[in-house]
Amino acid sequence: MSKYTHRLGAALLLAALQGAPIAVLAQTVSPFAECARIGADRERLACYDRAAGRTTDPTLAPSPSPASGPKAVAAATAAPTASLIDAAWEFDPASSPYVVRLYEPNYFLLARYSDRVNTAPLSSVGQVPIPQEQVDNTEAKFQISLKARLWTTDDRRWGAWFAYTQQSYWQLYSDAISRPFRETNYRPELFMSYRPGLEYGGFHWRLLNFGFTHESNGRSGVLSRGWNRLFAEFGVERDNLVLTARAWYRIKESADEEDNPDITDYYGYGSLRATYKWGGQSLSLMGRGNLSTGKGAVEATWMSDKLLGPLRAYVQVFSGYGESLIDYNWNQTTIGAGVAVNDAF
């Protein structure tokens, strides 16, 4: 009996020893099986790490996916926009040192209507008016304006520029007088530009120009108009709004060369302009004048987004003195519509 008892005890002990690894293995497999039932990838991976005795490094956790929906749209809307001044004046250090760019708006008004046509231009030097041939109230008007950088520093903050702007008034619909050009103004400029890079009250001062400008209509006799100026121009921006101010000093000429000595009575000594851009469109408002004489002018323009290639719809409204040099002392209100290629910013 004792012999069989010992044999039975040994058998039970052997079975227990053989079953122990199985029990341990069962306990080891069980947590992994539980992990396999987890559907979410991130939680399932963390479960496997815990089961294996591994600590998860929080720095290796996957970054959250980009926000979507209304919050993402709001964030994108609130993101700062690129500088309009920097783009217009090539202040980026990576830009080419020598560039040719569009300057002021380049446009063609298919029809420009004036409520008061100047049929007898008169200057203030004692000349009698010379009546022009009968002109229509409606004509075409266009402007070509380019600028070229001649020199710049390596960081592009300083630059020397030459600019040329030509504005023409064309009696396109006056068949009886052979559709002449009623007036053309030529304005070359030579100036330095600088990017101050200062900020105050949310406005960024990014433009300072100073130099020389000549403007004339290329005519002779009593119809000759022209003047020379030294000028300084300041430009600040905030988001999609650009404000520019230009002040000038007229260089006086000798009495026998003077065509329009009183031109500053109508043009004043400076101008202000605001340009606002949204959704590819732009709105511009300009004002200038002489406070002592109470004479000046305002201009408003609207430009659409691109419609056909680079072409945009363009509307221009002007009221006051001096839309052109021949009309420097003539008060009128005009409105025109056509197409444009660019605005100033």
Please give the positions annotated as active site. Answer: 214, 216
Residue 289 has a CB neighbour count (10 Å cut-off) of 21
From CA 184, how far away is CA 141, in angstroms rounded?
Answer: 10
Asked whether 171 and 139 are in contact (CB, 8 A), the reply is yes
327 exposure class (CB count in 10 Å sphere: 0-12, 13-18, 19+): buried
- For helices 2-36 and 41-51, give the axis angle rounded to 10 degrees: 150
DSSP for 244-257, written as a single string:
EEEEEEEEP--GGG
What's at 134, amino acid-wise?
Q
E strand or H helix that includes residue 84: helix 84-89
In the numeric block, the tokens 């600019």 are attached to 163
SS (H, E, C) 45-72: HHHHHHHCCCCCCHHHCCCCCCCCCHHH
Nearest-Å Rg of the Cα atoms of the chain is 38
From CA 283, how far away is CA 190, in angstroms rounded?
Answer: 27
